[in-house]
C-alpha cells in the first residue's frame, strides 16, 4: 500500500528526515517510535502533505501512485488520514458541518452520492456512540474549547467517518488518560481490516498495549535505525532509547 | 473671502432650504456656521488621520434633484416583503415607494419634511427637541453640513410601551437625476423610541449607480426600558462616497443593539456614537465590513459610559482584499461616575491580499476606578494551520478558504435576527467575496 524510499525532508532549512525506508502493506499496523526530535512526527506530516516541510529527496508511492505529487486534500480523498498531534481549533466552523463537508468531499471524489443532512446525522449518531462523542461536541465549533482528550477523540471520530485506507496517528496517545486511551484504541481497532493499514507514531509503548502492532520501527536522527516485531516496543520501554542511539 | 471659505461656500450656499419654523432656521444656521468654521476635516485632524476626504472636498458635487425610481428597481434592497418601509430618494421622502399603512397606531413614521413643515404639534415638538441635540453639530463638520441642509428625510416615533413586531426598514436611495456632475444628498433620520417600547429597524443605504455623495445623519433616542434592535446596511454604488454618523442616547435600563454591514461605496466613513446615559443601559455595536479593490472603509465608534452599571459590547470585523484600505477606531469613554462599567471590545481584520492595509486603534479613556474594560485586536491572513487541517480532511484549498472566511463573517452575520436581512447580507457578501477570490486565484 505504501512504499517510502530514501525519503528526505527539511523544514526551514533544517534537515529532519535523512533517508526513510518503509513498506506498509494492507492489513498491517506499523508503530514508529523514537525519542523526541527523531523525526517521527515529521514523517507523519510529510505523508499528509504539510506545507511546512520540503521534501528534498526520495519517493513515496501510495497504492502505486506518487503520493508526493498529490495536494494534501487529494491525499485525504484518496484515503490517507492523519490524526493530528495538535488538532487545530477552528472558530466559527460547526463540527458537524465540517464533518459533513469532509465526508461528502470524499464521497464525491469516489463518484458516490453525497449524503443529505438526514443520512449524515444518522451516520454520525451511530459512530459517535462508539467513541463517546456527545451531541454537544458535534454542535460546537471544530475543536474549540475541547479538552485534550476530546480533541483526540474527535480525531478518531473523523477517522471512523472517513474510513481511510491508510491511517496515520501522530502521537494520538499524548495527554490521554487511561479511559480515553482505551476509547481511542477501540476506535482504531474497530477500523482494522485486511484492506486498511495503520501507522502509529508514538513516544511510549503504552498505546501499543491496546493497538497491537505487527511491526515496530525505531527512528533516530531522521533514519529508521531498528525494526522488529511488537516485542521491540517492550524492549524499548525497559531499556529506553539510549541503547539504540548508542548502537 | 479667504481661499478656504471660498471653497466651502458652494457647499452651504447652493439651493439650501430656507423655509420652516424659526427653530429649524436657527438650527440650519448653526450647521452652516459650524461647517464654515470647521471646514472639511484633513488628515491633520486626529479623528481623520488616515482618511483623506479630498476627493469629496475637491469634487464637483451639486445638490441632488428628484429622480424617478421604481419599486422594481429597489426590489433587491427590500428585505422579505418589508411589511413597513420608509423610502427616501435623494434625500426626499417618497410616499409612493413607502409602505406605512400597516404600522400600528403606536408608531408614527414618515416624511421628516412633513413634520418640519406642519404635521401634528406633538411630532414637531419631538423634532424640535431632538434634532441636532445628539449629532454633535458643533464639532463634526459633516454633521454640520448635513444640518445646514436639514429639510427632509425620515422620522420614526414609537409611543411609550409600544411593541412593534415586524421590522421597519428605512431605505435611503441615491439615484441619478437630470443634472450634470455628481449629486449630493444629506439624508436625516430621527428615531425616538418611547419608554418600554420595543422595535426592530433596518437602515439601508443604496444607490442605483454612478458617482454621488451621501452625507447622512441619524439620531436615535432610546427611552427608559426600551429595547431597540437596529441594523445598518451600507450598500452604496461602488463609485459612491458615503459619510454617515449615527448618534444614540440610551436611557436608564434600555437596550440598544446595532449591527453595521458595510458592503459598498468607494470612500466610506461610518461613525457610530452611543452614550449610555442612565443606569443599567446596555449597548451593543457590532460591525462587519468588506473592503476590496481600491476601496476605502473607515469605521469609527464611540461608546460613552456616562452612568454606572452599564455593560457594552462591541465586535467589529473586516475582510480586506485588493489594495483596499480600512480604518477601525474604537473609542470607549468611561466617565468618572460610571462605576461598575463592563465594556468589551474586539476588533479583527482578515487580509486576503498583501496589498490590503488596515489602521486600527482601540482608544480607552477611563476616568472611573471600579470598571471592567477589555479590548483585543487581531489582524492577519487566514490561519495556515486551520487551512491545512481542513485540507487534510479532503476539502480543496478553495473550499477550505471559503469555509474559514464564511466562519469569520458568520460570527457577525449570525447575530442578525431579521432572517430575510441575514440572507440578503450573506448573498451579497459571498457574491462579492467569490469575485475577489477568483481575482486572487487568477493573479
Buried b / exposed e over B111-146, threshold 16 CB at 10 Å, is bbbbbbbebeeebbebbbebbbebbbbeebbbbbbb
Dist. CA B357–CA B354, nearest whole Å: 8
Q: What is the pLDDT of residues A50-92, one digit of tens each?
A: 999 999 999 999 999 999 999 999 999 999 999 999 999 999 9
On the 0-12 / 13-18 / 19+ scale of CB atoms within 10 A, B345 is buried
Place of cell 475541547: A146
CB spacing of B411 vs A91 below 8 angstroms: yes
pLDDT < 50: residue spans in chain A: none
Look up residue B57 and give its three cell numbers: 472636498
Q: Is the dihedral of CA A12, A16, A22, A24 positive or negative?
A: negative
When CB atoms are compared, the residue of B385, B392, B410 closest to A72 is B392
Dist. CA B43–CA B348, nearest whole Å: 24
Place of cell 433620520: B189
Give the start-to-end residue ranges of the domains of chain A. Answer: 2-246
Smallest CA–CA distance from B394 into chain A, residue:
A73
Place of cell 449591527: B259
| Cβ–Cβ < 8 Å for A185, A208 | no
CB spacing of A82 vs B395 below 8 angstroms: no
Dist. CA B354–CA B347, nearest whole Å: 20
When CB atoms are compared, the residue of B395, B404, B407 closest to A73 is B395
| Cβ–Cβ < 8 Å for B268, B233 | no
Chain A contacts of B411, Cβ < 8 Å? Answer: 91-92
CB pairs under 8 A between A and B: 74
Best to test chain A binding among B378, B387, B390, B394 (most A CBs inside 10 Å): B394
Q: What is the pLDDT of residues B34-60, one digit of tens each?
A: 999 999 999 999 999 999 999 999 988
The residue-averaged pLDDT of B171-182 equals 87
Q: Taking Cα atoms as reference points, which of B164, B23, B385 lies closest to residue A143?
A: B385
When CB atoms are compared, the residue of A50, A76, A87 closest to B394 is A76
| Cβ–Cβ < 8 Å for B66, B90 | yes
Chain A contacts of B378, Cβ < 8 Å? Answer: none
Percent of chain B with pLDDT over 90: 87
On the 0-12 / 13-18 / 19+ scale of CB atoms within 10 A, B216 is buried
Place of cell 429595547: B227
Buried b / exposed e over B410-443, threshold 16 CB at 10 Å, is bbbbeebebebbbebbbebbeebbeebbeeeeee
Dist. CA B131–CA B193, nearest whole Å: 14
Chain A contacts of B383, Cβ < 8 Å? Answer: 88
Residue A105 contacts B where some CB pair is shorter than 8 Å: yes
Q: What is the pLDDT of residues B68-97, one digit of tens each?
A: 899 999 999 999 877 899 999 999 999 999
Say whether pLDDT at B318 is over 60. yes
The confidence score (pLDDT) of residue B5 equals 66
Say whether pLDDT at B338 is over 60. yes
| Cβ–Cβ < 8 Å for B408, B399 | no
Tell me the whole-structure pTM to 2 decimals.
0.91
Place of cell 443593539: B257
Look up residue B74 and give its three cell numbers: 429597489
The confidence score (pLDDT) of residue A183 equals 87
| Cβ–Cβ < 8 Å for B190, B150 | no
| Cβ–Cβ < 8 Å for B307, B277 | yes
- Residue A91 CB partners (closer than 8 Å, separation 6+): A141, A144, B407, B411
Smallest CA–CA distance from A46 into chain B, residue:
B392
Residue A11 contacts B where some CB pair is shorter than 8 Å: no
β-strands A166-170, A141-142 pairing: unpaired
The residue-averaged pLDDT of B123-142 equals 95
Percent of chain B with pLDDT over 70: 98
Spatial strand order of the sheet with A197-202 comes to A80-83, A166-170, A197-202, A29-33, A215-220, A223-228
β-strands A65-66, A54-62 pairing: antiparallel
Residues from B in contact with A at Cβ < 8 Å:
383-386, 388-397, 399-400, 403-404, 406-408, 410-411
CB spacing of B391 vs A90 below 8 angstroms: no
The confidence score (pLDDT) of residue A37 equals 87
CB spacing of A73 vs B391 below 8 angstroms: yes
CB spacing of B396 vs A73 below 8 angstroms: yes
| Cβ–Cβ < 8 Å for B156, B168 | yes
Residue A159 contacts B where some CB pair is shorter than 8 Å: no
Cα of B415 to nearest chain A Cα, Å: 13
Q: How confident is the model at residue B1 (pLDDT cuts 50, 70, 90)?
A: very low
Chain A contacts of B385, Cβ < 8 Å? Answer: 88
CB spacing of A105 vs B395 below 8 angstroms: yes
Q: Taking Cα atoms as reference points, which of A145, A193, A131 lies closest to residue A166?
A: A193
Chain A contacts of B348, Cβ < 8 Å? Answer: none
Chain A contacts of B384, Cβ < 8 Å? Answer: 51
Is the pLDDT higher at A180 or at B431? B431
Smallest CA–CA distance from B414 into chain A, residue:
A92
For B93, B177, B378, B409, the CA distances from A142, given in Å and listed in that order, are: 48, 51, 20, 16
Cα of A118 to nearest chain B Cα, Å: 21
CB spacing of B391 vs A87 below 8 angstroms: no
Interface pTM, i.e. ipTM: 0.95
- Residue B94 CB partners (closer than 8 Å, separation 6+): B69, B87, B88
CB spacing of B389 vs A72 below 8 angstroms: no
H-state helical runs in B252-383:
none
| Cβ–Cβ < 8 Å for B132, B47 | no
| Cβ–Cβ < 8 Å for B243, B273 | no
The DSSP result for A165-189, as a single string, is SEEEEESTTTT--HHHHHHHHHHHH
When CB atoms are compared, the residue of A72, A75, A88 closest to B385 is A88
CB spacing of A49 vs B392 below 8 angstroms: yes
Chain B contacts of A98, Cβ < 8 Å? Answer: 390, 393, 403
Chain B contacts of A88, Cβ < 8 Å? Answer: 383, 385-386, 388-389
Q: What is the pLDDT of residues B229-288, one digit of tens each?
A: 999 999 999 999 999 999 999 999 999 999 999 999 999 999 999 999 999 999 999 999
Q: Helix (H, G, I), strand (E, B), or coil: what is residue B8?
A: helix
Dist. CA B332–CA B334, nearest whole Å: 7
Chain A contacts of B391, Cβ < 8 Å? Answer: 49, 71-73, 76
The confidence score (pLDDT) of residue B18 equals 78
Look up residue A211 and give its three cell numbers: 493497538
Best to test chain B binding among A105, A139, A140 (most B CBs inside 10 Å): A105
The DSSP result for B108-157, as a single string, is EEEEHHHHHTSS-HHHHHHHHHHTTTSS-TTT-HHHHHHHHT-S-EEEEE
Q: Provide the CATH topology of domain A2-246.
A: Rossmann fold (3.40.50)
Amino acid at each position: 500500500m505504501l512504499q517510502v524510499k530514501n525519503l528526505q525532508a527539511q523544514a526551514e532549512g533544517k534537515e529532519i528526515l535523512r533517508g526513510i525506508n518503509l513498506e506498509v502493506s494492507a492489513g498491517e499496523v506499523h508503530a514508529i517510535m523514537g525519542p523526541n526530535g527523531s523525526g517521527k512526527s515529521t514523517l507523519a506530516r510529510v505523508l499528509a502533505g504539510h506545507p511546512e516541510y520540503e521534501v528534498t529527496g526520495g519517493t513515496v508511492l501510495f497504492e502505486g501512485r506518487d503520493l508526493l505529487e498529490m495536494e494534501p486534500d487529494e491525499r485525504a480523498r484518496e484515503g490517507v488520514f492523519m490524526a493530528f498531534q495538535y488538532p487545530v481549533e477552528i472558530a466559527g466552523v460547526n463540527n458537524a458541518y465540517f464533518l459533513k463537508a469532509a465526508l461528502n468531499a470524499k464521497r464525491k471524489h469516489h463518484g458516490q452520492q453525497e449524503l443529505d443532512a438526514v443520512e449524515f446525522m444518522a451516520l454520525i449518531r451511530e459512530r459517535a456512540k462508539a467513541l463517546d462523542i456527545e451531541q454537544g461536541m458535534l454542535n460546537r465549533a471544530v475543536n474549540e474549547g475541547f479538552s485534550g482528550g476530546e480533541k483526540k477523540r474527535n480525531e478518531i471520530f473523523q477517522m471512523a467517518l472517513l474510513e481511510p485506507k491508510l491511517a496515520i496517528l501522530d502521537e494520538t496517545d499524548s495527554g490521554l488518560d487511561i479511559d480515553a486511551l482505551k476509547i481511542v484504541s477501540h476506535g482504531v481497532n474497530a477500523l482494522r481490516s485486511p484492506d486498511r493499514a495503520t501507522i502509529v507514531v508514538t513516544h511510549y509503548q503504552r498505546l501499543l498495549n491496546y493497538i497491537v502492532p505487527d511491526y515496530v520501527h525505531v527512528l533516530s536522527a531522521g533514519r529508521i535505525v531498528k525494526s522488529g516485531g511488537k516485542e521491540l516496543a517492550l524492549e524499548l520501554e525497559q531499556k529506553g532509547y539510549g541503547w539504540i542511539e548508542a548502537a | 473671502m479667504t481661499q478656504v471659505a471660498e471653497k466651502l461656500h458652494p457647499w452651504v450656499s447652493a439651493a439650501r432650504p430656507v423655509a420652516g419654523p424659526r427653530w429649524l432656521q436657527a438650527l440650519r444656521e448653526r450647521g452652516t456656521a459650524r461647517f464654515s468654521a470647521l471646514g472639511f476635516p484633513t488628515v491633520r485632524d486626529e479623528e481623520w488621520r488616515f482618511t483623506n476626504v479630498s476627493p469629496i472636498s475637491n469634487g464637483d458635487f451639486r445638490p441632488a434633484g428628484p429622480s424617478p425610481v421604481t419599486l422594481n428597481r429597489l426590489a433587491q434592497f427590500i428585505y422579505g416583503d418589508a411589511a413597513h418601509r420608509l423610502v427616501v430618494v435623494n434625500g426626499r421622502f417618497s410616499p409612493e415607494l413607502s409602505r406605512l399603512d400597516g404600522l400600528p397606531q403606536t408608531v408614527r413614521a414618515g416624511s421628516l419634511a412633513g413634520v418640519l413643515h406642519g404635521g401634528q404639534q406633538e411630532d414637531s415638538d419631538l423634532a424640535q427637541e431632538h434634532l441636532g441635540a445628539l449629532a454633535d453639530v458643533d464639532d463634526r463638520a459633516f454633521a454640520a453640513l448635513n444640518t445646514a441642509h436639514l429639510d427632509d428625510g425620515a422620522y420614526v416615533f414609537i409611543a411609550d410601551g409600544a411593541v412593534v413586531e415586524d421590522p421597519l426598514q428605512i431605505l435611503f436611495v441615491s439615484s441619478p437625476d437630470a443634472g450634470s456632475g455628481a449629486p449630493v444628498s444629506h439624508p436625516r433620520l430621527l428615531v425616538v423610541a418611547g419608554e418600554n417600547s420595543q422595535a426592530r429597524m433596518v437602515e439601508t443605504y443604496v444607490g442605483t449607480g454612478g458617482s454621488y455623495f451621501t452625507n447622512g445623519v441619524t439620531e436615535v433616542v432610546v427611552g427608559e426600558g426600551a429595547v431597540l434592535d437596529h441594523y445598518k446596511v451600507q450598500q452604496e454604488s461602488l463609485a459612491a462616497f458615503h459619510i454617515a454618523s449615527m448618534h444614540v442616547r440610551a436611557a436608564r435600563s434600555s437596550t440598544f443593539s446595532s449591527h453595521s454591514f458595510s458592503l459598498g461605496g468607494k470612500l466610506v466613513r461610518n461613525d457610530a456614537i452611543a452614550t449610555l446615559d442612565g443606569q443599567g443601559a446596555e449597548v451593543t455595536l457590532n460591525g462587519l465590513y468588506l473592503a476590496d479593490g481600491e476601496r476605502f472603509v473607515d469605521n469609527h465608534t464611540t461608546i460613552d459610559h456616562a452612568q454606572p452599571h452599564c455593560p457594552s459590547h462591541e465586535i467589529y470585523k473586516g475582510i480586506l482584499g485588493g489594495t483596499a484600505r480600512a480604518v477601525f477606531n474604537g473609542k470607549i469613554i468611561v466617565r468618572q461616575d460610571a462605576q461598575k462599567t463592563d465594556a468589551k471590545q474586539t476588533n479583527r481584520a482578515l487580509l486576503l491580499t498583501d496589498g490590503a492595509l488596515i489602521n486600527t486603534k482601540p482608544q480607552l479613556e477611563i476616568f472611573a476606578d471600579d470598571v471592567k474594560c477589555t479590548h483585543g485586536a487581531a489582524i492577519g491572513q487566514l490561519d495556515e494551520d486551520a487551512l491545512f487541517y481542513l485540507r487534510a480532511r479532503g476539502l480543496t484549498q478553495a473550499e477550505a478558504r471559503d469555509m474559514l472566511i464564511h466562519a469569520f463573517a458568520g460570527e457577525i452575520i449570525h447575530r442578525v435576527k431579521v432572517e430575510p436581512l441575514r440572507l440578503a447580507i450573506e448573498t451579497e457578501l459571498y457574491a462579492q467575496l467569490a469575485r475577489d477570490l477568483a481575482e486572487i486565484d487568477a493573479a
